DNA sequence: CATTTTACGAAACATAGGTATAGGTATGAA
DNA sequence: TTCATACCTATACCTATGTTTCGTAAAATG
């Protein structure tokens, strides 16, 4: 982003502060009042900040200042996703019994409208992709995968597994990231989601 | 609180939703428009919600609806930690310029009273510990380390680095998790924190 | 050195949007 | 039955607030 001038920075800080205290943004006049400057001066600052991509204002809408630049956005809360057992133990998944607490995810990164869940990884089959035993895998529920995606899939009737997905001529290859685990070739799979995030905790 | 009617509840939900999407509250007319009712009808609902202690509105101030009742306030389940540049680029760290946004962390896992920050990992030196280039490392600020901890340290005057910590007879060994990187032996280090969590995002 | 950007003021303009008046129906309690 | 509240329409009022016009002056930029 273009750099802000001192004054412009002060204005953003005021807007943030006002927002935090009131739950809604200030008017142009309130901004001006705060700095003891004219309406026009305040208006100019807001427009400048808008040009620089910090704010967005509704055209002719009152009190419609929206901070859009990440660095000035208020800290957002997280979204809770259910932890549904683990991959490897396989089995029910999505069954109620299989509920294992929740995990809060920074929701800046999550797409609205998608369903997410988490699984705890068991085993070393993805170790070369930096996915270790015990890691939490945050999965976006989705039925289709593209080559190279790391996905959660049900293979046949039993196992639920986390592998890299490749569609080949007339079969699907599920590739582990560990030479000790041979690829699985199959047609009978159901994609249960795509890996979005890995969260690992150290003691 | 007095119970809300179905309609009133819908109105609060709409206001919450609007707020989440725009960063500022709706006008009375926008509320009315959403439900296909008249301005006055919407106005009445807002006033009713105000009487019941859910909202507060500025007298004659446009778009000045503030949700004040706890149950309808957005709940924050995460803690924001600042992302302070990356490990490898090294350098100031903790300097203001070095601010790179925030990351929200599930606060179930964080100890109260500790200070946390995050760094983005650069390079492959910890690849065998499942820490990849680009991962976010959440660090608990702490000045002492124990053998085997993965820590952030400043070595000498320059480099800030993420390594495994071992105290040996009369020196300290900072061990990478990649055979291509030889261990660093030194006495002149400052521990800047202990790795608590790794967060990796896929696309 | 010319030009653009920043920073500000006074006043006027246009309208978005809070508020009020004057109604209506429906429900449930006193 | 009467009163209160929820819920609604339609129209009007009025002022808070975004925007523009016409200026000045300094600082940054090329």
Q: What percent of chain A has pLDDT over 70?
A: 79
pLDDT at A28 over 90: yes
- Residues A108-117 have a mean pLDDT of 72
pLDDT at B60 over 50: yes
- Residues A77-96 have a mean pLDDT of 55
The answer to whether A77 faces chain B, any CB pair under 8 Å, is yes
Given this model, what pLDDT does residue B157 score?
65
Q: Which residues, including other chains, have CB under 8 Å from residue B140's CB and lie 6 or more apart?
A: B111, B114, B115, B116, B193, B194, B196
- Residues A185-191 have a mean pLDDT of 87
- Residues A85-103 have a mean pLDDT of 51
Strand-strand pairing, B78-87 and B116-121: parallel
Given this model, what pLDDT does residue B77 score?
54
Are A15 and A74 in contact by the 8 Å Cβ rule? The answer is no
Q: Which two tokens stand for residue B155?
A: 């070595």
Are B125 and B177 in contact by the 8 Å Cβ rule? The answer is yes
Confidence band, pLDDT 50/70/90 cuts, at residue A96: very low
Given this model, what pLDDT does residue A160 score?
81
pLDDT at A22 over 60: yes
Helices A39-51, A6-22: inter-axial angle, 10-degree rounding: 100
> What is the Rg, in whole angstroms, of the alpha carbon atoms belonging to chain A?
24
CA A63 – C1' D10 distance (Å)?
27
Nucleotides of D under 7 A from a protein CB: 6-12, 15-22
pLDDT at A195 over 90: yes
Are B164 and B98 in contact by the 8 Å Cβ rule? The answer is no
Going B17 to B18 to B22 to B25, the CA torsion angle's sign is: negative
CA A60 – C1' C14 distance (Å)?
10
Provide the β-strand partners of residue B160: B154
Q: Would you say the C-beta of A61 is within 7 Å of strand C? A: yes
| Domain annotation for chain B: domains and CATH numbers | 6-72 (1.10.10.10), 78-199 (2.10.109.10)
Mean pLDDT in chain B? 83
Give the C-alpha separation, B30 to B11, whole Å: 11
The Cα-based distances of A136 to A83, A122, B96 in angstroms read 9, 10, 32
Reported as a single tens digit per residue, the pLDDT across A113-170 is 678 888 888 888 899 999 999 898 988 889 889 999 999 988 876 678 899 999 998 8
pLDDT at B155 over 90: no
Given this model, what pLDDT does residue A165 score?
95
Q: Which two tokens stand for residue A12?
A: 């953003």
DSSP A69-116: -GGGSPPP-EEEEEEEEEETT-S--SSGGG---EEEEETTSSPTT--E
Cβ <8 Å between B198 and A199: yes
Which contacts (CB < 8 Å, 24+ apart) does range B144-148 have? B144/B191, B145/B191, B145/B194
Given this model, what pLDDT does residue B40 score?
94
pLDDT at A79 over 90: no
DSSP B93-151: -SSGGG---EEEEETTSSPTT--EEEEEE-SSTTGGGT--TT-EEEEE--S---TT-EE
Q: What percent of chain B has pLDDT over 90?
A: 41
Reported as a single tens digit per residue, the pLDDT across B92-140 is 444 444 445 666 666 566 676 688 888 888 888 899 999 999 898 988 8
């Amino acid at each position: 982003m273009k750099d802000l001038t001192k004054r412009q920075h002060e204005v953003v800080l005021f807007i943030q502060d006002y927002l935090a205290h009131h739950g809604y943004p200030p008017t142009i006049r309130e901004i001006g009042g705060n700095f003891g400057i004219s309406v026009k001066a305040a208006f100019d600052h807001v427009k400048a900040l808008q040009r620089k991509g910090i704010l967005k204002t509704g055209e002719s809408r009152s009190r419609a200042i929206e901070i859009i630049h990440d660095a000035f956005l208020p800290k957002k809360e997280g979204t809770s996703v259910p932890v549904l057992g683990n991959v490897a133990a396989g089995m029910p998944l999505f069954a109620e019994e299989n509920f294992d607490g929740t995990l809060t995810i920074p929701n800046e990164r999550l797409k609205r409208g998608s369903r997410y869940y988490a699984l705890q990884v068991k085993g070393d089959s993805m170790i070369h992709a930096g996915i270790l035993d015990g890691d939490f895998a945050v999965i976006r529920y989705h039925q289709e995968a593209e080559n190279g995606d790391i996905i959660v899939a049900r293979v046949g009737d039993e196992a639920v597994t986390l592998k890299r997905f490749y569609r080949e001529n007339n079969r699907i290859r599920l590739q582990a990231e560990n030479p000790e685990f041979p690829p699985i070739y199959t047609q009978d799979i159901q994609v249960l989601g795509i890996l979005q995030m890995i969260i690992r905790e150290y003691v």
